[in-house]
Structure 1
Amino acid sequence: MSDPKSSYGEPVEEPRVEDDVVVRAEDSLADADAAREAVASDTHVDSADAPVETVPDTAHDTTPDSSYDEPVVMAAAPDEEPIDYSKWQDDTVEPEAATTAYVPPAEYDTAVTPSEPVAPAAVAGAGVAGAGVAGAAAVAPAAQPIFVQAPESPRPRGNRGAAGAIGLLAALSFAVLYLGAWLGFGAIDGEVTTANVGQTALNALGTWSLWVPVVTFYVAFFLLGAIINRGRWGSWVIFGLLVGAASYGGHILGQLFQAPFWSLTAREGADLVESQLLAPLAVVAFILGRELTIWFGAWVASRGKRVTELNTEAQREYERTLEAGPQLVRV
């Protein structure tokens, strides 16, 4: 077998292998030369005289010098350019190219910006987890988020609790004055003397006749305070008549409980109510109920006015906060 490094000027007869790519290429060139000689009559080129370079047969060549390190070119007719058969060689991938990471151009920004705020602890944990991965993309630190919370509208303060607390003091005053009137009218009738005044007062504390008017007065006072709330004192003066009427009815109801009414007939109950309509204690209950409502109602109205001023100031502060807009507060 001939050495591929020998002179390329002389044709060398090689065994024809039907599956060899080089042999098929030689046959194609021979057919092309024959067709060209038939068409171009003015050209008399003997294809046999043209130097032909052969490609070493790798299937039969066992010499250590047979390799494809140098491109093999077969000479064709003089009018054709030499054919480079190096394209038939298998492409090999350099080991460096297979392991080299792609580096994008400088004009491209490779920083990754998260779409949502990332906590510093999460970013630190992600950096530790990805420290051992070669070629990991660097994550840019997320900007510190700024939370803007709209201020809530101030809730108006009420005055009903104060009306209930002041009503307890008013009811206690009603009980003391009502008991005093009871003992006074008993002294006028001769039933109460200096000797039995203490015992009479203790006996009165355990009767329905005393506590039913007191409870009725307190309930009426509290309901009126819940309705008026932060209203003016004039409302207490006008509607104090209703509390007085409720106290008057409480006196009659107390007499019925004291009887007691469930042991009376209808006729006896009617006579008892009729006898108490103009009783001195009934009139006292009406007067005390109205007057105490007026004066203790003034106390409730005074506090209601102060609460109204506080609500107005809170609303103004809320409006000023809205006009100023969101403020950046660093914690």
Structure 2
Amino acid sequence: MSDPEVPKHEQPADVSDVVDSANAGLDAAAAASAAVPGQTPEAAEQSAAGDADKTEADAVDPDLAAFDEAERDHPGTFSTPELNRIAEDSDDTTVLDTPVSHSESAMADAAYSTADDTETRIVPSEPVPSDRVSSEPAFAEAPVIAPLQQPIFVQAPEPPRERGNRGTAGAIGLLAALSFAILYLGTILGLGALAGDVTTENIGEAALAPLTTFGFWVPVVVFYLGFWLLGAFINRGRWGSWVIFGIIVGVIAYGGHILGQLIEAPFWRLTPSEGSEFVNGQLLAPLAIAAFVFGRELTIWFGAWVARSGARKTELNAEAQREYERTLEAGPTLAR
């Protein structure tokens, strides 16, 4: 079974063909006039021109004539505003003798069938092979650079500072030295009363007289220094340390009594033999023994106060150390 034949439109004749046909018609007319007897040359020429017009009319495409007639009846049907504008703005005066076929007119209408006649459509000139699309990327991929992370500096927690007890021992030592001075003055007045030098009438003068001598203040100052030095050594130690080492403070107070008496003598006016006899007379003096006993006992009882404060400082230090260790285990944290 053969395929049906598609009807083809007659192609318009070329201008040169039309001219040749016209010339051939004129020649035929001339020949005919020559053949017809009695016909004038003018009549023969008119007859030849008529034949030429008839030949040219026959050469016109009937489809083109139909399109021209439809365009005259309905202007704008087979033309677009864009084509008309281009034709009007063009300075080219060349007239196209080749008529526009039906297929070309239909393609022109399809190209400008959208609402916006000036819209431009971009179509690929040729298809791109699939293997080329898959193998060659459209653009070069830029390397991915990871953003730099700024370092965060976190201050490490400082270890807790241990709380000492030496300051507390010095402060409590002042109260102990004041108590030592009162007891020491009372012993001086009591010994004077036993000797008959102190009575109810002169007790005030007898109490103020030692306060202006080195023999009274030197033992008091030496006792305070001995108490504070022992407190600095024991620091946060227990009360048992004060009980054991309190005898040292008693000995220091005993030596302070002898030193005070030498200054009161004064010692720089005594000869070596006189000074030796003076010291031997103070070794077993009641006031010297009283200084030793007061220094020993006051150190024990006031030392208990210092030891209690030291135990409290020890607990605070342990708690601070535990908190420091918990902070280190938790690690650094950012403040929000």
Question: TM (normalized to structure 1)?
Answer: 0.57
Q: 1:151 aligns with which of 157, 165, 174?
A: 157
1:260 to 266, 284, 288: 266
Structure 2 match to 1:245: 251
> Distance in 2 between the 1:220 and 1:206 partners?
23
- Provide the residue aligned with 1:167 in structure 2: 173
Distance 1:287 1:106, change over 3 A: farther
Residue type matched to 2:142 in 1?
Y
Q: Counterpart in 1 of 2:111?
A: none
Distance 1:173 1:203 in 2: 19
Match of 1:234 in 2: 240
Q: How does 1:9-88 map to 2 (within 5 A)?
A: none
Find the partner of 1:107 among 108, 118, 141: 141
Q: Distance in 1 between matches of 2:188 and 2:197?
A: 11
* Separation in 2, partners of 1:186, 1:106: 115
Q: Which residue of 174, 179, 182 corresponds with 1:176?
A: 182
Which residue does 1:211 correspond to in 2?
A: 217
- Map 1:275-286 → 2, pairs under 5 A: 275-286=281-292
Aligned partner of 2:204 among 187, 198, 208: 198
Structure 1 residue 168: Cα displacement: 0.7
Q: 1:327 aligns with which of 303, 310, 333?
A: 333
How far off is 1:147 after superposition?
2.7
Mark the runs of 5 or more structure 2 residues left unpaired by the alignment.
1-138
Which residue does the alignment assign to 2:322? 316
Match of 1:291 among 281, 294, 297: 297
Residue 110 of structure 1: how far off its partner (Å): 8.3
What SS does the aligned partner of 2:157 have?
A: coil
Which deviations, in whole Å up to 9, do the C-alpha atoms of 1:274-318 show, x marking residues without a partner?
111111100100000000000000000000000000000001111
Shift of 1:271: 1.1
- Structure with larger Rg: 2
Q: 4+ residue runs of structure 1 moved beyond 3 angstroms?
A: 109-113
Q: Which residue of 2 aligns with 1:57?
A: none
Question: Percent same amino acid at aligned positions?
Answer: 69
In the TM superposition, what whole-angstrom CA distance separates every residue of 1:232-269 from its partner, at most 9, and x where no partner exists?
00000000000000000110111000000011111111
Q: Which residue of 2 aligns with 1:304?
A: 310
Amino acid in structure 2 at the alignment position of 1:317: E
Question: Which residue in the other structure is 2:93 paired with?
Answer: none
What SS is found at the alignment partner of 1:108? Answer: coil
1:146 Cα shift? 3.2
Separation in 1, partners of 2:313, 2:144: 61
For the residues of structure 1 that align with 2:204 and 2:176, how far apart are their CA atoms? 24
Partners of 1:106 and 1:217 in 2: how far apart? 93
The number of aligned residues is 199
Q: For 1:326 and 1:152, how far apart are their aligned partners in 2?
A: 13
**What are the ranges of 5 or more consecutive residues in structure 1 without an aligned counterpart?**
1-104, 118-144
Equivalence for 2:44: none
Aligned to 1:210, the other structure's residue is in SS state: helix
Q: CA deviation at 1:195?
A: 1.1
Tell me by how many angstroms 1:108 deviates.
2.0
